[in-house]
Structure 1
Amino acid sequence: MLRTFLKNRAALLLLGVAACIAGCVPAGSPQRVPAPVTPAVPMPSQVSVATPRALPGKRRDQPPADLLNAVQALGSGFPGQVGIAVRDVTEGWIVGYNADRLLPQQSVSKLWVAIAVMDAVDRSTLKLSDIVTVRRSDLTVFHQPIRPLVGIDGYRTTIAALLQGAMTRSDNTCNDVLLWKIGGPPAIRRMLMQKGIAGVGFGPGERLLQAKTAGLDWKPEWAGGWGFLQARSKMSVEARSRALNRYLAAPYDGASANGVTLGLARLQRGEVLSNSSTLHLLTLMAASKTGPLRLKSGLRSGWTFAHKTGTGQDLGTLSTGYNDVGLLKSPDGHSYAVAVMIASTRRPIPARMQFMGNVTRALIRALE
């Protein structure tokens, strides 16, 4: 699979806490970033694709009882609606809590866009080196570090750079440009069906999703986000609450924790992409800069985690779609797909992060 590219650093994580309302929200003033470049081809020592066979002497075809008990205790003890799933990538066993209920994905859904992009690369209908011009009309809402680079004449970049921005910085505009480049939401839904990833849906795209969640209809002049934020601020709390409750009851981008771990496991086993495309995507996931204090906060020495986070909109003290999903690798090379999805809670960010770290700690403790 892959080794960790980053260590948890308290200073970096405090910056991450500032991002608060949707798919990924901006932390502070936008900063100009250098022109993106295609990520280097990963070395074999950095990442690997799991095979369906278990490691000799390490076979465990049933989950540890301690893990079953811990996941149930953590899920039932957290004040909010949560889904947890842990799946052994090679043996296939699953441990879960509320793991089949469809919950908001938010930016976790960028993973499926990334898989569809790499699938298009495998089919030679797209190249990572293809040039793309991002226009102001392509801008979305909330976290979009690419925004200051998009001038009157747009911003020329590549598919590879957009994918890197979407997966390592959770840039909403980068992701939306890629989404429509490969055919929009219907193309993602077809891909999920063709690849056998059940239990995962896909929403209408970032702008429509966030507008509908807030009880609004998206307007093209809101591209960039400020118009949307102004319109949302004029809504009554009651109207926003009704819209948010509709979303939580039947998420437009809903996925189950089991479904997400199924997709992650199939990705890790090399069942959805070519070997080179799998390695490329896993490398980006390992380099993610978002959510360093979520599931990663529970890592022990020798364990690594490649992941994708998601963060939904807040209303007062209610937070929605606070997620972290990824592939956990043990020191002996065994892999586990993990998904923790907090659909809704009134617990503060530090408590949510600690809860997620506790899931990782429980998994590692049970397996060691």
Structure 2
Amino acid sequence: MLAALAASLILQAAPRDTSLRAEVERIAAASGARIGVAVVRVETGESLLSVRGGEAFPMQSVFKLPLAIALLRRVDAGRVRLDASIPVTAADLRAGYSPVAERWPNGGGRYTVRELLRLAAGESDNTAADLLLPLAGGPAGVTRQLRALGISGVRVDRGEGRLALDFRGVAYAPGREAKRVSDSLAARVSAAGRQAAFEAYLRDPRDTATPDGMARLLVLLARGRLISPSSTTLLLGMMTETPTGPNRLRGLLPAGTRVAHKTGTAGDVGGVTAVVNDVGIVTLPDGSRVAIAVLAKRSARGTEAAERAIALISRAVYDRAARPRRPR
């Protein structure tokens, strides 16, 4: 029932704006990355653009958005409390970006679920995300919730700890997700091993999203169809206040434009950046909104070039979507 309702909420526009498609394809071609884009008007469900919309791209930290939704659905159901206190041990710390790990290098801290949610969804903290994942039902539980809501093309399979091991070419074993162990083992991986892991990661169907699937998720979130009104307000606020990705979706938009978004990034191997993503909801001058998902992989020119492409695409979409629509 929920899946059928969700599917009915997004319509396909025909014909789509060919000039916008041409501009986005030009930007993508010049970026040195493989880029997928989907754009949907939130209020009407009109699809403005889909470029490689059905192709799977690695999410990286974009996965923290479906994680947050799954967690808040459990909060809404009374199964998880936002004020519950969660201890942080050394075994919980994760490699990569994590203010929690920086503050508590030996563990010992405590955070409420609300604080961990802000750190994961707002600041993209890897430790916070993995602490919340079991409360959200684990990777399989998050994906099951997405399917029940009618969202296809988005899948969560691993936490940040396991993903870091796989990306860096370290064989998984229990306990290796901990930051100190993961970092130590990764330092021993040869250049050839890192390159092989990099290529395997980009081929891996796990923890991926299609631009179309992610745009659907964003539209349903913006419409309040996924979680309660209070949870929707909480999550969108965290996504709007985030300091991450200033040069991506919001990088070239007019000052003061409201953007609720979630970034995702993977590192460089041999001068090529694996992933540079940003997905979000942009509010236009008339108060209407557009959902934009821009997913980029294998950026041969590095992170900054991919970020510039995302910003240019976002601005092209903004200029097109903000244009007064002709009556039909």
Please confirm whether the aligned pair reaches a TM-score higher than 0.5, indicating the same fold: yes
Cross-structure match for 1:85: 38
Check conservation: 2:268, 2:302, Cα contact below 8 A: no
Deviation of 1:248 after TM superposition, in Å, equals 0.8
Find out whether 1:127 has 2:81 as its counterpart. Answer: yes
Cα deviation 1:54-110 (Å, max 9, x = unaligned) = xxxxxx986444322222222333322211111111222221211211111000000
Deviation of 1:152 after TM superposition, in Å, equals 5.9
Q: Runs of at least 4 residues of structure 1 off by over 3 A? A: 60-65, 148-153, 218-224
**Of 274, 277, 281, which residue of structure 2 is paired with 1:323?**
277
State the SS of the aligned residue for 2:243. Answer: coil
Find out whether 1:204 has 2:141 as its counterpart. Answer: no
Provide the C-alpha distance between the structure 1 equivalents of 2:90 and 2:30, rounded to a whole number of angstroms: 45
Provide the C-alpha distance between the structure 1 equivalents of 2:294 and 2:251, rounded to a whole number of angstroms: 13
With the length of structure 2 as denominator, give the TM-score of the two structures: 0.89
AA partner of residue 74 (structure 1): I
Deviation of 1:339 after TM superposition, in Å, equals 1.0
Deviates more, 1:340-349 or 1:66-75: 66-75
Provide the C-alpha distance between the structure 1 equivalents of 2:116 and 2:76, rounded to a whole number of angstroms: 17
Find out whether 1:345 has 2:299 as its counterpart. Answer: yes
Cross-structure match for 1:360: 314
Cross-structure match for 2:216: 262
Number of residue equivalences: 311
AA partner of residue 210 (structure 1): A
Q: Which gives a bigger RCO, structure 1 or 2 (Cα 8 Å, sep 6+)?
A: 1
Q: Per the alignment, do residues 63 and 300 of structure 1 end up closer, same or farther by CA in structure 2, a change over 3 Å counting?
A: farther
Cα deviation 1:141-193 (Å, max 9, x = unaligned) = 11110124437672222000000111111100001000012321111011111
Cross-structure match for 2:22: 69
Deviation of 1:257 after TM superposition, in Å, equals 0.9
Check conservation: 1:326, 1:337, Cα contact below 8 A: yes
AA partner of residue 75 (structure 1): A
Deviation of 1:219 after TM superposition, in Å, equals 4.5
Cross-structure match for 2:167: 213
Provide the C-alpha distance between the structure 2 equivalents of 1:151 and 1:340, rounded to a whole number of angstroms: 34
Deviation of 1:349 after TM superposition, in Å, equals 2.9
Check conservation: 2:58, 2:202, Cα contact below 8 A: yes
Deviation of 1:224 after TM superposition, in Å, equals 4.5
Deviation of 1:317 after TM superposition, in Å, equals 0.1
> Which structure 2 residues correspond to residues 77-116 of structure 1 after superposition, within 5 A?
77-94=30-47, 95-116=49-70
**Of 290, 297, 301, which residue of structure 2 is paired with 1:336?**
290
Check conservation: 1:320, 1:343, Cα contact below 8 A: yes
Gap regions ≥5 residues in structure 2: 1-8, 324-328
Provide the C-alpha distance between the structure 2 equivalents of 1:127 and 1:317, rounded to a whole number of angstroms: 44
Deviation of 1:318 after TM superposition, in Å, equals 1.1
Cross-structure match for 1:161: 115
**Of 96, 99, 102, which residue of structure 2 is paired with 1:145?**
99
Q: Which structure: greater helix fraction? A: 2
Identity fraction in percent: 32
**Alignment root-mean-square deviation, CA:** 2.1
Provide the C-alpha distance between the structure 1 equivalents of 2:284 and 2:17, rounded to a whole number of angstroms: 15
Cα deviation 1:36-62 (Å, max 9, x = unaligned) = xxxxxxxxxxxxxxxx79xxxxxx986
Cross-structure match for 1:14: none
With the length of structure 1 as denominator, give the TM-score of the two structures: 0.79
**Of 281, 284, 288, which residue of structure 1 is paired with 2:238?**
284
Check conservation: 1:325, 1:340, Cα contact below 8 A: yes
Find out whether 1:136 has 2:81 as its counterpart. Answer: no
State the SS of the aligned residue for 2:208. Answer: coil
Deviation of 1:281 after TM superposition, in Å, equals 0.6
Check conservation: 1:61, 1:93, Cα contact below 8 A: no
State the SS of the aligned residue for 2:226. Answer: coil
Q: Which structure: greater strand fraction? A: 2
Provide the C-alpha distance between the structure 1 equivalents of 2:253 and 2:300, rounded to a whole number of angstroms: 26
Provide the C-alpha distance between the structure 1 equivalents of 2:206 and 2:269, rounded to a whole number of angstroms: 18
Provide the C-alpha distance between the structure 2 equivalents of 1:93 and 1:116, rounded to a whole number of angstroms: 26
